[in-house]
Amino acid sequence: MMPKTIEATINGMPVRVPAGTSILKAAREVNVRIPTLCKHEDLLPTAACGLCIVKVGGSPRMPRACATALEEGMEILTHDPELTEVRRATLELILSNHPNGCLTCGRNLNCELQTLAGDFGIRQDCMPRYVREQEPDASTGSIILEFTKCIKCGRCVQVCQEMQDVWALSFLERGINTRMAPAGDIGLADSPCIRCGQCSAHCPTGAIIEDDETVTVWEALRDPEKFCTVQIAPSVRVALGEAFGYPPGTDLTGKIYAAMRRLGFKAVFDTNFAADLTIMEEAAEFVARFAHGKGELPLITSCCPSWVDYMEKRFSDFIPNFSSAKSPQQMLGVLAKTYFAKKQGIDPAKIYQVSIMPCTAKKFELERTEEMYASGHKDVDVALTTRELARLIKQSGIDFRNLPPASADSILGTYSGAGLIFGSTGGVMEAALRTAYHKVTGRNLEKEAIDIEPVRGLKGIKSAAVDVDGTEVRVAVAHGLGNVERLLLEVRRARDAGEPPPYHFIEVMACPGGCIGGGGQPYGVSDELRSQRIQGLFDGDRGMELRFSHENPEIRTLYDDFLGEPLGEKAHRLLHVRYKARPTYQK
């Protein structure tokens, strides 16, 4: 048996950590930071960069701290002149294989390589630069691959292949010619890429960045002919603050509204409102299937465009299980250009709808199918990520920290706690169950039962059995696409065997942690950060009077005045989509 805790010393300081802890992690216990460019907390060590070398005992060898577990009695030395010199030489080598265009790079001032070069005080090019020329790949319109900036750390490849099980990115060739490339060496848009952007969230440099559309938005805002409106996704409000020095998880809804108004948006909506609407439709779908046998079980959520894309390519036999309800972004978009336009007497053609999303795939969702033009126009004109919004605010000269809060516009701005928690893994499930329970039983969950704890948290797959008036509803929640296959195979096996489905309702979000961990969120993601952002959402929910989507007064008005019934004809036309199987490899 291995001892449960390991005692050793790091730079002479005693340290006690659980067995199996890497030296890199153990060093943090004694406040020692060992530099690394490849190790990411979410990922297994690739041992690529060679910067985290340490000395063990008196051995002349220098093992990597990221990939070496601390062992009993080890005497670790993390910093001495020799280690620093080897690290500096390695860093210079990496820099010699990287372009020197920091000023115009998407990661300027926010780049792990740049930071390290600064910390090491590198003041000149010590080696001739060798960078293989290659045009960036902007084919997806969501994510740009700037191949020349890749330092081959392997994070994106591991994220794409292992964490997300997408296999759009890979390493091709070898040696000095090694390059990150889409699967089969084609354009990213033709690869199995689902635009989740987790690669960009994990990239230490500017090699993978979101397709920045702030200029497009500026142009729209300056256009007097356009009536610019904006919507803010649930998870943006608890993450944007990180770009302005707030602790992760700080809910800045009011400040964001205010900033939007200052930027010149004529109407400020909240995607949370549309989340409530999505729940109305989805819960109705669920009840129809669960209680009235109309349609396949389990019902599977579909508000994540990456997940939808993935399902259409990899698990198209689950199309009948998919909720046909559009995502909140698209629902809000279509309502802005129909319901809102009608109420306000604005020509929908003049409405320019911007969405602020935690997500790179939302850019792709805008034109995903013709149903995204249900209003007769492009329902949402442009989607910005949280990172782009931060830039937009900074460019505009707004003193964000001292900005007094404002409120959203009514009719598409009021939301419930259920809509707010959409941004977290398990949140859609929880929100849907709250409304489905009401729909089946005719009453709300008791106050102490509103929080559905088993579907919360960062475990990759969560499942629970929820009692709905004596009937058991089995639900499962997966986040991080790498966790999905196991769940779906379980369902498929039962289906093929003619057994009852193991679950009635499944929620899937492509990104670990859900949208709060989206590919367009501020950099530096880790489970700790994800938890803090999630906490921000659930705290907000708990503090709200309104915690059920079906009780959102604006939602009621919307159905009464415009849509009719959930799943009704009009709702169907505007708020629902169809799916089709797509080839994994377009080329």
**Closer residue to other proteins (CB): 75 or 551:** 75
Instruction: Look up residue 140 and give its two tokens.
Output: 């997806």
**Known active-site residue 281:** no
Give the binding site for other proteins (CB under 8 A): 45-51, 53, 61-64, 67-69, 85-87, 89-90, 93-94, 96-97, 126-128, 130, 137, 151-152, 154, 160-161, 167-178, 181-187, 191-192, 583, 585, 587
**Residue nearer to other proteins on the CB measure, 35 or 522:** 35
**Alpha helix locations (H) across 132-193?**
155-158
Rounded Cα gap, residues 264 and 330, in angstroms: 22
Cβ–Cβ under 8 Å, residues 269 and 409: yes
Tell me whether residue 143 is exposed, middle or buried, using C-beta atoms within 10 angstroms of its C-beta: 0 to 12, 13 to 18, 19 or more: buried
Closest CA to 525 of 169, 154, 40, 107: 40
From the candidates 146, 312, 365, 430, which is the catalytic residue? 365
Question: Is 302 annotated in the active site?
Answer: no
| Total Cβ atoms within 10 A of residue 526 | 14
Residue 499 makes CB contacts below 8 A (sequence gap 6+) with none
- Shortest Å distance, C-beta 122 to other proteins: 14
Tell the smallest beta-carbon distance from residue 2 to other proteins (Å). 12
Annotated catalytic residue 105: no
Number of H helices, E strands in the chain: 19, 16
* CA–CA gap between residue 204 and residue 153 (Å, rounded): 8
CB-hemisphere CA count at 13 Å for 91? 25
Cβ-based nearer residue to other proteins, 130 or 292: 130
Task: Work out how close the CB of 257 gets to other proteins at its nearest, in angstroms, rounded to a whole number.
Answer: 42
Pairing of strands 169-172, 55-56: unpaired
For residue 316, the minimal CB distance to other proteins (Å) is 14
Instruction: Let me know if 515 is a catalytic residue.
Output: yes
Tell the smallest beta-carbon distance from residue 196 to other proteins (Å).
Answer: 15
CB nearer to other proteins: give 14 or 73.
73
**Which residue among 210, 213, 242, 285 is the active-site one?**
285
Q: How far is CA 522 from CA 104, 357, 402, 494, in A?
A: 19, 11, 21, 40
Between 49 and 563, name the residue whose CB sits nearer to other proteins.
49
Least distance (Å) from other proteins to the CB of residue 320? 23
Is 446 a residue of the active site?
no
**Which residue in the list 323, 327, 375, 416 is annotated as catalytic?**
323
Query: Is the CB of 61 or the CB of 123 nearer to other proteins?
Result: 61
**Residue 78: CB minimum distance to other proteins, A:** 14
Question: Residue 426 CB, nearest distance to other proteins (Å)?
Answer: 29
303 is catalytic: yes
Is 362 marked active-site? yes
Q: How far apart are CA 62 and CA 433, in angstroms?
A: 54
- Residues 492-502 as b/e (b if ≥16 CB within 10 A, e otherwise) read eeebeeeeebb
DSSP assignment string, 291-341 = HH--S-SSEE----HHHHHHHHHH-GGGGGGB--BPPHHHHHHHHIIIIIH
Q: Which of 370, 448, 472, 545 is catalytic?
A: 370
Contact (Cβ atoms closer than 8 angstroms) between residue 234 and residue 423: yes
- 133 vs 446, beta carbon nearer other proteins: 133
| Shortest reach from residue 128's CB to other proteins, in Å | 6
- Which residue's entry shows tokens 């909140």? 328
Cα(19)–Cα(63) distance, integer angstroms: 18
Which listed residue (203, 303, 304, 359) is catalytic? 303
Q: Distance between CA atoms of 96 and 151, rounded to whole angstroms?
A: 10
Q: Catalytic one among 146, 282, 312, 430?
A: 282
48 vs 311, beta carbon nearer other proteins: 48
CB of 32 to other proteins, least distance (A): 19
β 55-56/75-77 pair status: antiparallel
Nearest CB to other proteins, comparing residues 124 and 402: 124
479 neighbors 512 (Cβ within 8 angstroms):
yes
How many angstroms separate the CA atoms of 235 and 385, rounded? 11
323 catalytic per annotation: yes
Q: Which amino acid is at 477?
A: V
Pick the closer one to other proteins by CB: 47 or 288: 47
Kindly list the catalytic residues. 282, 285, 303, 323, 362, 365, 370, 515
